[in-house]
Structure formats: C-alpha cells, structure tokens
Structure 1
Amino acid sequence: MTSNSISATGPVAPDATGSELVVDVGPVAHGGHFVARHEGRVIFVRHGIPGEKVRVRLTDAGESSRFWRADVVEVLEASPDRVPHFWKPADSPASWRRGTPPVGGAELGHITLDRQRALKAEVLAEQLKRLAGLDLATVVEPVGSDDDGGLGWRTRAGFAVAPGGRLGMHAHRSDVVVPIKEMPLALAGINHLALWDVNLSGIARVEVAVPANGSRPLILLAPEEGTTPKRLHSILSHLPHDVSVASFDPGTGQVLQLRGRTWVQETAAGHDYRVTGEGFWQIHKDAPDTLVGAVTGYLAGGGYLHPSSSVADLYAGAGLFTAPLADAVGVTGSVLSVEGAPGTSRDARKNLHGQAHVEIVQGRVERVLHQRPRAFDSLVLDPPRAGAGKAVVKQLMASGPRAIAYVSCDPASFARDLGYFHNGGWRLESLRAFDLYPHTHHLETVGLLVPGR
C-alpha cells in the first residue's frame, strides 16, 4: 500500500486523499461513521470504535471540503468491543494491506453485536433530540437469535460485476468493484447459487431474491449496453436450473422473463405475497413478521384498529401491512392502499385480489390524498428512506386519524418528520427500534403518533 504518512499534527497538502493520519476515534455519527478531528477539521472515520487510537487513510480529503472521510488501516489502541471481522473483503485494515478498499455493507462487522446496538441507539437518540426536540433513551432490539452471530439474514442481495466478469461489490462511495466469493450476511440459499463461479461479462448488475419460505429464488440480470441475446443465453446456461432468471432495466424497472417467473412468493403474517422483479420487500428473513407485529400491536392494542375501522396503508408496497389490516377491520371496514411504483402496485392488486373492502390506488401519496380526501381512524406510514416530508405530514394530520403507525428505515428522516408532527400538535406516544440489519449501521423504527392532548 503506497501512501503519504503524516502525523496528527503535521502539515496537510491541498488534497490529502491517500495520506495517513493517527487520530483518536470519537462518538458515532449517522451513516456508519465515527467523528475524529485533525487540526480542527472533522474527519468521518469508518471501521473504528469510539475511544480507539487508530491510523486512518484519507479517502476524501479535498482542501475545500467541509469535512474529510477516512478508513481505519491500523488499530493502535483497540476497544474491548473490537472483534475479528467475519468477512475479509469488508475488513478495512486487511483490505488496505492488500491494496484495495473494503466493500460496503458490513461496516460494523468488527464490533460486538451488543455494542453495535448500543451505538445505533445513540444515533437514534441524537437524531431525535437534534431534529425533533425529543430527549428519549432508546433501545435497539435484536431480531431473532444471536446464535448465528448476526449472519445469514439477508433474503435479498445486490451485486456489481468486476472487470473480467466476476461477481463483486462496490467499495463505499467508490466506483471500485471488489470481487467476492461469499456473502456471509445472506441466507445460505444465496451463497449456494455460487454466482461468483459464473462469468458475468456483459452484465452490469445482479440482484438476487431467495425467499425465506423456501419458494423459488429469482436472479435479475441488468445487461450492459450492447450485450447480445446470445451472450445472455450463454450466462443463463451456467446458472442453476431450479431458479427463475429475468433481465431488468434499473432505469425503467422493466423486467423480461428469461426462465421461470419474474417474481418471487414471500410469506408473512399468514399471507402469501407476490413481489415482482426489484419490487420492495424487507430483506431480513424475520423483518416482515416483526414489523407487522409491531404495527398491529400498536394500533390494535391502543384501540385504533378494530372491525369496521377505516384505515390507510401509505407507501404500501406489495401489501405487507395491507393484508393484516384488512383482516383486522373485516368486511365492514375499509382499507386504502397507496403505492407509487406501478409494478409494485400491480403486485398489491394481485395479493389483495378478492378483498372488496380494500382499495388499491397507484400514485404519489400526496396526490392521492389530495384527490381523495377522506377521514381515517388510523394510518400506517412506511415511506422510503427519504421519509414522508412536510407536505405529506400536513395532509396526514388534516385527515384527522386517531393514530399513525410510522415505520422508518432512516433515523434522520424519521426524526425530521416527527418534528413536523410535533409542530402540528402531535406527539410520539411510543417507539420501538429493531436491529434488522446486523453488522451495518442501519436500523428500523416503528413509532406510534397521536394527536396531542
């Protein structure tokens, strides 16, 4: 590994990217980073632990940058919570010794699971206080058993293709693709496909879905421009014969059958769900049941969900929450399911077929709420990572529900939206946080919001 080594108090070049510093690792920050400082400048360090002294390699250190980014390349004084990383391509010091950056997707794999959850709880609490003005002690709950060391939970995985056609993954914030030969966070079914043994030349991206219920897996291939049907057929001939294979366009979402089905069948809360192509589904094998249980527990337990209720499932996807909501309200109640993605909304129609008290609407949530103003007893809100936003929050409060169950995969957008609710007179009645993404910085929250007294 070639780099310029500079001390923690030494001079810094106009662009110090590639240089090394010795720093003390400070508190955790949102996004999988830890805060360190050099001559007053903030450095967001990955692969450290608070309290450690480490040598870091600057990966983004332009002179005009407000802050720098860095990876740990050597641990000089280790935290007692540091453990050997379970995956060599994601082990930062080992990767940089080999001359390559670590892959993304397992940036907390060097930390004990208990400390990972404590750090995630710190991030959630900090975001709630800074963006929503809420001073709450939070706990991040484990999901499933820790007997597996937090491995083998992903039912979906996305891969890049390295030069030469080998399956790989991107390094963090980089175009560099690192070839891999295993994915320890994934279900055994994904690893058993052994896609790293297939020459994938002509393919830009690969998505894999292996349902936890054991139903037929799906491999999605995104061809590079100019890849011929003959080349696709050649790749297809080297893929396992008991899986479905389709090509897809990441830009349009169009999915074309190559073999078998263009969808997978998922199961949760006593229902089967068809999910086409890249359609959204929770990636942890236990996430769907966990989240349905949290949402229905809040709404039904609080008396906000019962037979004859009028409820809405917003950003509904393929209907994960819609189906159990329909069960709860019965045929005398009503459920409005709103999803923006056309293909996913079509899946919801198939999944809820025959449920006359369920209305499936495809469109942007804010537009549908404006065009179809109505009152609801309660709402389920499960927006994408960017959150719902101020305009949608105002519409939701105006619709007059007695309660809203808010499901979020991003503590920053969640806290921001909570601030909007708080300014509108609403309050956070209860909150749960789940470690649905062990060894990564991500977490999932479910909050119960009610109008203020």
Structure 2
Amino acid sequence: MSRTNRARKPRGRSRVGERFEVEVGPVAHGGHCVARLPEPESRVVFVRHTLPGERVVVEITEGTDGDRFWRGDAVEVLDPSADRVTPPCPVAGPGLCGGCDFQHVALPAQRDLKTAVVREQLVRLGRLPADSAVVTGLHVEAVPVPGRADDGLRWRTRQRYAALPDGRPAMRAHRSHDLVPLDDCLIAADGARPADVAPPSRDPVTHAVDAAGERHDFVVAGDGFWQVHPEATRVLVDTVLELLGPRPGERALDLYAGVGLFARFVGRATGARVVAVEADRTACQHARGNLAALEAAVVECGPTDKVLRDGYDEPFDLVVLDPPREGAKRAVVEQVVDRRPRAVAYVACDPAALGRDVAIFAEHGYELTAVRAFDLFPMTHHVECVALLTRTGPRTG
C-alpha cells in the first residue's frame, strides 16, 4: 500500500525511502525518539518504532534537502533495548496503523518515557528548574481498567473507524490518509470494537460517574466529548478536588467546561457561585441540565477568551481549566489571573501546551506547586496531567 503523506511544500530533493544506520537518542514529545544522521548528512530525524539507546536502520518517511529535520521509521533493529517487546497488535509497526506509538515498548517503560516527556516540557517550555521538587517528583501513574490485567489493552470505550470501499473497518497510517484494514483494535473496549463503522449518533447518552465518594449521572451528546478511559472521570475529578481543596463559600470558574463535570463537583463542595464557560452550544444545553441541582450555578455559552473579556470580571477563588490540546494560551491565562484566584487546577492533555501556559502563569505570580500525571492512554504517547497553580505574588528576577 502506497504511503500518502500530508501535502507539504517541497524544499529540494526528496529523501523519502532512503535508509541510514543510527544510534537513537532521547524520547521526544509526539511518540518518537531523536536521532542524528552520521556525516555527511548530520540531520536530526524523529524516529518512530524505536527506543532510546537502540541502534536501528531508519527509513526516511518525510524530508527533503531543505528541511531542518526529517521523520522516519525504524525498519530494522540492530541493537534492541531491554524494554522492547513484540507488539501485541498485528497492525502496529512501520507503515501500518498510526494509532499506537508504543506497542513495541514494555508497559512500565512506556510510562517512564511519558514521564521524561512531561518533565522535559515543564523544564524547557515551563521554565522550571530541572532539580525542582515538582519536576523530580513527577511520575506518570498507571490507571488500570477495572476487572482487567494491567496490560494496556481494552481501555478505549469509544472508537471511531474509517471504512474501506468494501465497508471493512480500517485505521489510518501515521500522518497519512492511507487506510490499514483491521479486524480488531486491541485498545478498544468490547463495546467499541469495529462491529460497524457508522458515525456516532448525536442522541444524548448518560454516563455514570463515581467520584468524591458518590455516583452522579451526566448527560452528554452521543458524539460529544467524554473521556474514553473508563476510570478517567473518577481519577481527574478526585485529583482536581484533592489539589484545589475547595472550601465552603468559595466562588469558582470552570473554563472549557464541557457538560459541567468539574463545575458540578466543585460547586457541590463549595455551595457557592460556580460559572461554567463552554463554547459548544449542545454541550452547554446538557451542562444546564447536569448543573440544575446547584442553585448558584451559571452556564455561559461562548468562546472562553471572549466570555472572560466581556463579563464575569468579579473575583473568583478557584478556577478549573480543561482546555483543548493547544492549551489556554495567553489571552485566557491573563484573564484568569485578573480574577485573582487563590488556586487554579489545570487539566492538560498535552504537556507542551501545559508547559507554555505554566510559563505565562509564572509571569503573573502563579507558581506550579504540584503536578499529577496519569497513563489514561496506554500504547500511545498521550498522557493526561492535572497541575496546581497557586498565587505567590509577582515574579521577580
């Protein structure tokens, strides 16, 4: 099957398909490791399907003479790492399904790689000292699926498949539109296996959430956002509450609130005003129902930066931030610190975005005082973090 990479403006002669023998360096954000080609190329290559310290043959999958770096796959392992395992999935490997980055890595080592990535992003982008307690004390925690061995499989409760012309389910190759047929996705839970490839219905569904010692039902659109790991909502809600320590009477903002998950639990803990801000209109409708039992809850529909720019400029004690992958960014962070909360809980699905936003918070006197990281996406490079930022005063020096 031919590989069709995303369209790019050519910068000279293509090097796709060429092979080089390399020593593999450290893991990098994005599911690959860094290697440097020998002379005369001396080019940095981001290599998938390898591990730090291995010696491999890399085949270039993207790159021209004019590019600063190239991408490639390890197509032959000459000196394997002790952490290398045989991928459990038959379509995991070079040129095959692009959904899993670390099927070739033992599960404990996957978490070590993710830990290294989060630490590196907090140091490089968040400007934290490498020897700070927050950085050195961080380690990605396992979150096993209840009733299953901790093998990193069968955790994804919702899965979307592409369809081949004959209707068979497929997944896409990495950074490509090429389709890879498959009979079963091993990270999909039983209910998310490819029985068909029809798009999800928009009809509302109800999710039960056990968190803070209680069970709560949340209504969500069938195709709306909800965490895919069965333990994710419990782990994230409990961690946000643990780090924030909400007190009775404290006012709270829940930004990028979705259907009101964090607003409901924080609002119940404080018994005070909680404002949930969400841009998606359908999610806002469900949030109003999910927060109906909280008399002081308000759901505001609109882009977070615009809502904060135009209103709700009174002080808030607590803020929960759960932004999309690109992060909250400066416009939102500066609106948050303008409300002078004593604490901000930041739920991050991308450690690079978290690092960038942590640096902006620091400019305004908010220090990163705790980070918890969870392996809610085994076999992939993705990791979920919950960070606590507390007001310490203006940054100096």
Q: TM-score, normalised by structure 1?
A: 0.78
Report how far residue 2 of structure 1 moved: 10
For 1:61 and 1:163, the matched residues in 2 are separated by: 31
Structure 2: gaps (5+ residues): 4-11
| The 10-residue stretch of structure 1 (160-169 or 44-53) with the greater mean CA deviation from structure 2 | 160-169
RMSD: 1.8
Aligned to 1:293: 238
Higher relative contact order (CA 8 A, sep 6+): 2
Q: Is the 8 A contact 2:34 2:46 kept in 1?
A: yes
Distance 2:314 2:386 in 1: 24
1:440 match: secondary structure: coil
Structure 1 residue 329 displacement after superposition? 1.5
1:133 to 117, 120, 127: 127
Q: Tell me whether 1:443 sits opposite 2:383 in the alignment.
A: yes
Q: Which runs of 5+ in 1 are unaligned?
A: 4-12, 93-100, 201-205, 208-219, 221-245, 247-254, 256-261
The 10-residue stretch of structure 1 (380-389 or 130-139) with the greater mean CA deviation from structure 2: 130-139
Q: Matches of 1:275 and 1:452 in 2, distance apart?
A: 37
1:186 maps to what in 2? 188
**Partner residue, 1:231:** none
Give the structure 2 partner of residue 382 of structure 1. Answer: 322
The equivalent residue for 1:322 is: 263
Alignment match, 1:267: 208
Counterparts of residues 19-418 of structure 1 (less than 5 Å) = 19-38=18-37, 39-92=41-94, 101-134=95-128, 135=130, 136-137=135-136, 138-144=138-144, 147-191=149-193, 194-195=195-196, 206-207=198-199, 220=200, 246=201, 255=202, 262-268=203-209, 269=211, 270-300=215-245, 305-330=246-271, 333-372=272-311, 373-418=313-358
Shift of 1:108: 0.3
- Return 368-377 or 166-175, whichever deviates more: 368-377
Tell me how far apart the structure 2 counterparts of residues 55 and 443 of structure 1 sit (CA, whole Å): 28
Structure 1 runs of 4+ with >6 Å offset: none
Residue 293 to residue 354, structure 1, CA distance change in 2 (3 Å): closer
Q: After TM superposition, give the deviation of residue 414 of structure 1 in Å.
A: 0.3
Distance 2:233 2:373 in 1: 14
Encode CA deviations 1:409-429: one digit per residue, 9 max, x unaligned.
000000000000111111011
Q: Distance in 1 between matches of 2:347 and 2:187?
A: 23
Q: Cα deviations across residues 305-339 of structure 1 (Å, max 9, x unaligned)?
A: 12221111110011111111121122xx1110000
Paired amino acid for 2:256:
Y
Could you tell me the TM-score, scaled by structure 2's length?
0.89
Report percent identity of matched pairs. Answer: 43
In the alignment, the residues of structure 2 paired with residue 47 and residue 446 of structure 1 have an alpha-carbon distance, to the nearest angstrom, of 28
Q: Partner residue of 1:97?
A: none
Rounded Cα–Cα distance in structure 1 between residues aligned with 2:367 and 2:56: 42
Would you say the 8 A contact 1:271–1:323 is kept in 2? no
Retained in 2: the 8 A contact 1:132–1:419?
yes
Count of residues in Structure 1 that have an aligned counterpart in Structure 2: 369
Query: Shift in Å at residue 277 of structure 1?
Result: 3.3
Contact 1:433–1:444 (8 Å) recurs in 2: yes
Aligned match of 1:240: none
Q: Which has the larger radius of gyration?
A: 1
